[in-house]
Each structure stands twice: as structure tokens, then as C-alpha cells.
């Protein structure tokens, strides 16, 4: 992202020992974290990358002046973005991750024993290198034998992929400016639908309901139009704008049209020995309970047939 004066320099957002996340994408508000020390600051071919150690939230990854992860609360975002679509699928064997260069989503995907291959396409190797150096709890997935890391453009990767290749696609992108802009385009969503198998699930970073309701409505109504099921789920991430972010989920129609297309409940039991810090079986359906103002808006924008809820699952 560039400012009127030129490319952004995240170091200019640190004053008197505090990093202040001022950004035109969320006008009139800013989030601040106290800085202990700057660990790294560089410019890649795509964006400004800074890592600093905060006094209370661990190491922080900042891309183009926007906080991407903190070591303290990353579990809420990574686990929900991953396990909502993964547990909404009966047996995801082939998984594509677009973006997610910090490695958190990959770490979560390979926790599912049913996964045969997790392909990850990240455009910026600089983000991967920063994660490997400064975020040891997140980068464990890179060395996993079922992981396949590709450095390249996710939009082009999806366009080139064969029809009906993947069971689940997870898009862990930054905001819809700069390198991630194309991942919010109808073209990308159309290709994602094409390369999903019947009954497959797409889950994308879905922005903040307090700030980006217009974008959320557009994505659900227009970008996800090819999908049989369309939903928005909410999660709490204290270091993100307004302390909230969501994900948009789309289910490709099953070959059996009688099957429910909602992702609102897990369709597999959550293993008791799975290492989780935020996601739970109870948290899964709770994420789809939206505030009245957004629910009314999305109900008006999306046909009822695409919003069908699922009944509570019981394991026996």
C-alpha cells in the first residue's frame, strides 16, 4: 500500500515507543501497541514488512503498516479460519491455502489426519522468511511432510489449477489493497468454485463487520454467487480493528442435492487430543450468530436457499 507521499514506511507509525495503526481502511480509529524493540524492517518486492516485539502481546507482524498477527491472539484467527471450513467437510484430503505466509493456517490444516496434501501458495517469500525467523510457534507447518509450499501469485495459481482438485480452499489474505486485492475479485471466486470438488468449502478472510459491512455484503451477494451455500462467521481478535474480524464461507453444491450446504456445524467430531487454544465444537456454530444489523442486511442480500442452517450434530 502506498501513501500520497510514496510507499509506506511502517517505522513512521512508531512514536514515543508506541506503534499506532492508522489506516484509511478504518477511518477515525487506530489501535496502538507498546513497542519493546523493532526486530526487523525490510521492503520486499510487494510490501513493507516489519516485525517488532511488543511489551504485552509478543512479536507482531506488520505488513504495509497493518498488524497481521500477534503471538498472543493469533490462535483465535488461525484456528477459526482453518477449522470452520475443515470441520464443515466430511473428509478433506486435498487442501489449498492461498496467502497465509506466516504459517499459522498451514500449522492448523496439517493437524487433521485426513489431509493427504496441504498446498500453500504465498506471493511474498519475505513474509515466509519473517515467520520462520520470528514466529516459531506458527512456522511448524512448513516442515510438515504433507505440506507443499509454493511461492507465487494465488490468483494465477487458482486460474491454472485443474477442475475439482480441492476439498477445502482457505484464503488467508491481508486487506483488499496491494498484493491481496485480486483475491477479493469475482474472477478469483469463480476459479475457486471451479477447482473445488462437489461439496467443497471455500473460506476467505472476510473483514470487520463494524467497518466493512458494504464489502461483506458485496462478497456474499456477488463474489460467492456460484456457491450453493453462503455464510459469514465472526471471530474476536483483540489486535485487529474493532477487535473483530470475520470469514466468508461458500459451499459448492453436492452431487446429492438433498444434502445441507450450511457450514454452521462441524460434521466430524473434534479429536480430544487436537492441540487447540481457541476453536471448540461449541465455538463453531456460535461464530455464525451475527448481530441483528448485519443479519438483516445479509438476509436481504442473499437468497434464503443459500443460508439454510444446519441442525445440531450429536456424536454417538
| pLDDT for 205 | 92
CB 203 within 8 A of CB 84: yes
CA distance linking residue 105 with residue 74, whole number of Å: 10
pLDDT tens, position by position, 169-224:
999 985 555 565 667 788 889 999 999 999 999 999 999 999 999 999 999 999 99
Q: Which is the catalytic residue, given 48, 64, 124, 172?
A: 172
- Residues 101/173, Cβ–Cβ less than 8 Å: no
- Cβ atoms of 195 and 162 within 8 Å: the answer is yes
Euclidean distance between CA atoms 91 and 174, whole angstroms = 28
Q: Does the pLDDT of residue 309 top 80, yes or no?
A: no
The yes-or-no answer on residue 172 being catalytic is yes
Task: Read off the pLDDT of residues 108-135 as tens digits, 9 standing for 90 and up.
Answer: 999 999 999 999 999 999 999 999 999 9
Band the pLDDT of 308: cuts 50, 70, 90. Answer: low
Residue of 100, 93, 86, 205 whose CA lies nearest to 150: 100
Q: Smallest Cα–Cα separation from 295: which of 244, 233, 245, 243? A: 233
pLDDT confidence band for 23 (50 / 70 / 90): confident
| pLDDT greater than 60 at residue 91 | yes
SS3 content of the chain, % helix, strand, coil (to 5): 30, 30, 40
Q: What is the pLDDT of residue 136?
A: 94
pTM of the shown model: 0.93
Amino acid at each position: 500500500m502506498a501513501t500520497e507521499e510514496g510507499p509506506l514506511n511502517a517505522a513512521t507509525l512508531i512514536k514515543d515507543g508506541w506503534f499506532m495503526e492508522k489506516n484509511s481502511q478504518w477511518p477515525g480509529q487506530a489501535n496502538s501497541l507498546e513497542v519493546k524493540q523493532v526486530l526487523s524492517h525490510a521492503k520486499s518486492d510487494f510490501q513493507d514488512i516489519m516485525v517488532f516485539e511488543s511489551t504485552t502481546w509478543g512479536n507482531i507482524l506488520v505488513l504495509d503498516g497493518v498488524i497481521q498477527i500477534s503471538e498472543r491472539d493469533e490462535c483465535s484467527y488461525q484456528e477459526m479460519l482453518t477449522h470452520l471450513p475443515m470441520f464443515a467437510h466430511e473428509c478433506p484430503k486435498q487442501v489449498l491455502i492461498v496467502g497465509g505466509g506466516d504459517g499459522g493456517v498451514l500449522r492448523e490444516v496439517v493437524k487433521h489426519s485426513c489431509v493427504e496434501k496441504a498446498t500453500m501458495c504465498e506471493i511474498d517469500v519475505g513474509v515466509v522468511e519473517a515467520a520462520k525467523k520470528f514466529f516459531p510457534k506458527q512456522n511448524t507447518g512448513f516442515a510438515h511432510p504433507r505440506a507443499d509450499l509454493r511461492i507465487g501469485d494465488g490468483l494465477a495459481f487458482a486460474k491454472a489449477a485443474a477442475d475439482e482438485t480441492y476439498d477445502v480452499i482457505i484464503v488467508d489474505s491481508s486487506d483488499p489493497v496491494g498484493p491481496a486485492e485480486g483475491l477479493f475479485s469475482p474472477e478469483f471466486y469463480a476459479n475457486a468454485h471451479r477447482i473445488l470438488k462437489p461439496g467443497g468449502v471455500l473460506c476467505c478472510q472476510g473483514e470487520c463487520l463494524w467497518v466493512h459491512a458494504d464489502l461483506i455484503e458485496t462478497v456474499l451477494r456477488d463474489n460467492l454467487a456460484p456457491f450453493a451455500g453462503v455464510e459469514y462467521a465472526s471471530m474476536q481478535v483483540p489486535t485487529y480493528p474493532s477487535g473483530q474480524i470475520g470469514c466468508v464461507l461458500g459451499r459448492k453444491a453436492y452431487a446429492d442435492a438433498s444434502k445441507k450446504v450450511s457450514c454452521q456445524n462441524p460434521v466430524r467430531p473434534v479429536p480430544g487430543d487436537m492441540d487447540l487454544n481457541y476453536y471448540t465444537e461449541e465455538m463453531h456454530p456460535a461464530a455464525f450468530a451475527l448481530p441483528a444489523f448485519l443479519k438483516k442486511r445479509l438476509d436481504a442480500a442473499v437468497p434464503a436457499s443459500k443460508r439454510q442452517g444446519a441442525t445440531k450434530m450429536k456424536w454417538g
